[in-house]
Amino acid sequence: MNIRVEVRQNLDNEDLQKVLHLLASSFPLEYAAGWEFFKSFLERCPDKCYLLVRANENSILGISCILSKKLYYDGFILDVAGLSYSAVLPGHRNFMVSAKLKEGIFSYVSANSDLSLGFARKVLDNYWYPYGFLGFTNFGSLLIEIKGTPSPSPFLKLSALENNDIEAAMSLFDKTYTRYLNLMIRTVENWKYILDKLLKQGLSLYSIKTFDGVFVGYVHRSGNIIEEICIDERFMGQVLNLICSVVRDELPSAKEINFQIGLTHPLSKYIRKHLHHSIHTRFAWKGGHIIRVTNILAFLLKTAEVIESRLLSSNVREFSFECYGLYFTYDGRRLRVEATRTIDITENEQRHFWQKLIFGVQDAQYCLYESEANRNILPFLQIMFPERHPQIPVLDQF
């Protein structure tokens, strides 16, 4: 059987029906929301292409939907390949078809993107890790007690976020999440698709406005779980009181509100400063939000200015050292990075080590503790790659 991978920007109606059938058989939970859920994704999700695994012109044995996304890395705009729905047709899930699909994914990503990003389901924990993907999100959440929170301000109200609110939501989102290490850039079309997707899932995004119509924030919640929220910092206390009041009315038995927004979110900082709270974090190195840098050396060279600015602000004069297959030289102004092969490590060992540091997933001392590297370089690594608690906003999951 002559199996090949074909890259397509669009699907004709015949192939669309075959892909819909494949996705419905592979993702039953999404299919429960209806056929229109997948149809909306295939027709409305912007900036995507399809990798189709074919045995002949009439068959589609596997598919991977790849989204062209942009991500800020401390001011640098990076090209990201978003790995969305990937599946092999039941009955054809043999090694040959799956291997061909993975081969096509890596070939496409290497030619088009600085890194690839995906959101692995629980059942796929451990699956992508051997291929260089690292679970990079610190799943941070803050819990606050509903009991005893003040009555909400009578000047604020919640209502469904509509298309004419998108411009204000975009502005607030960019202002809030530029403080994150990784900000997924959302265009107007991305926002429209997000609203459509939530509608298909029976969910809503709520705007928060004053009674005279001034937009001060938005929130995405499910019961007493807050999954994404952006607030004008002048209204944080009033908005928290409003949310507590709404949850208290809708769920009288709920005792807490769970803000799953990460520890570096501006609202998280407000809560930690002003409210009684508890913090929970967990790591998922081998699943969850997964990321893979296409080429570690090329990535570091491209983003060297970010590292140089950290070194300059710390008044580091000069150094040179070797660590995990790379040699760094700094003269007080410019950083040079070169590849070296003086240590015996696999490509994936090197990739996982540097990805943890690049994205601030783990403090350098723990990364070094797990390696044979010289401990004297620790202060330099901690300045170059500070721990950042990265967390991708939930609405950017695809």
Domain ranges in the chain are 4-119, 141-282, 294-384
Q: Which of 9-23, 180-194, 281-295, 359-373 has the lowest mean pLDDT?
A: 359-373
pLDDT exceeds 70 at position 167:
yes
* Percent of the chain whose pLDDT exceeds 70: 94
Quick check: helix, strand or coil at residue 56?
A: coil
Which residue type is seen at 28?
P
CA neighbor of 140 nearest in space, from 397, 393, 395, 398: 393
pLDDT score recorded for residue 369: 75
Residue pLDDT, tens place only, 48-68: 888 899 887 778 999 999 999
Confidence tier at 373 by pLDDT (50, 70, 90): low
**Burial level of 347, CB count in 10 A (0-12/13-18/19+)?**
exposed
- What pLDDT, on a 0 to 100 scale, did the predictor assign at position 372? 60
pLDDT > 90: percent of the chain: 39
- What is the side-by-side strand order in the sheet with 141-145? 156-160, 206-210, 215-222, 225-231, 256-259, 141-145, 277-280
342 pLDDT band (50/70/90 cuts)?
Answer: low
Does domain 141-282 fall under CATH 3.30.2310.20? My reply is no
Task: Please report which confidence band the pLDDT of residue 141 belongs to, taking 50, 70 and 90 as the band edges.
Answer: confident
Cα–Cα distances in angstroms (integers) from residue 392 to residues 97, 138, 181, 289, in the given order: 31, 9, 9, 8
- Give the alpha-carbon dihedral of 5, 7, 10, 16, to 10 degrees: 10
Spatial CB neighbours of 123, under 8 Å, sequence gap ≥ 6 = none
Residue 370, pLDDT score: 64
Per-residue confidence (pLDDT) for residue 358, from 0 to 100 = 93
Q: 263: which residues sit within 8 A by CB, 6+ positions away? A: 138, 140, 142, 279, 281, 389, 391
Distances in Å between the Cα of 156 and the Cα atoms of 264, 270, 274, 343 are 26, 19, 20, 60
Lowest mean pLDDT among 70-79, 122-131, 305-314: 122-131
* Other Cβ atoms closer than 10 A to 181: 21
Residue 159 banded pLDDT, cuts 50, 70, 90? very high
Instruction: Report yes or no: 300 and 353 within 8 Å, Cβ to Cβ.
Output: no
**In the structure, what pLDDT confidence band is assigned to residue 340 with cuts at 50, 70 and 90?**
confident
Helix (H) or strand (E) holding 241: helix 236-250
Q: What is the mean pLDDT of the chain?
A: 86
If one compares 380 and 43, the residue with the highest pLDDT of the two is: 380
Return the CA Rg of the chain: 23
| Distance between CA atoms of residues 309 and 326, nearest Å | 20
Q: Which amino acid is at 63?
A: I
Q: Is the pLDDT of residue 164 over 60?
A: yes
Residue type, 197: K
Same topology for domains 4-119 and 141-282, yes or no? Answer: yes
Confidence label for 367 from pLDDT (cuts 50, 70 and 90): confident
At 124, is the secondary structure helix, strand, or coil? helix
- Give the model's pLDDT for residue 235: 93
pLDDT tens per residue, range 111-137:
889 999 888 777 777 888 999 999 887
> pLDDT tens digit string along 260-273?
888 788 888 899 99
Average pLDDT over residues 165-189: 83
In tens, the pLDDT along 23-38 reads 888 887 666 556 677 7
pLDDT class of 139 with cuts at 50, 70, 90: confident
Q: How far is CA 251 from the centre of its chain?
A: 30
Task: For domain 4-119, give the CATH number.
Answer: 3.40.630.30
H-run or E-run covering 258: strand 256-259
Residues 226, 206 contacting (CB under 8 angstroms): no
- In this prediction, residues 137-159 reach a mean pLDDT of 83
Burial of 56 (0-12, 13-18, 19+ CB in 10 A): exposed
pLDDT tens for residues 224-256? 999 999 999 999 999 999 999 999 999 999 999
Q: What six digits make up the tokens of 22? A: 């494949």
The secondary structure element, H or E, covering residue 157 is strand 156-160
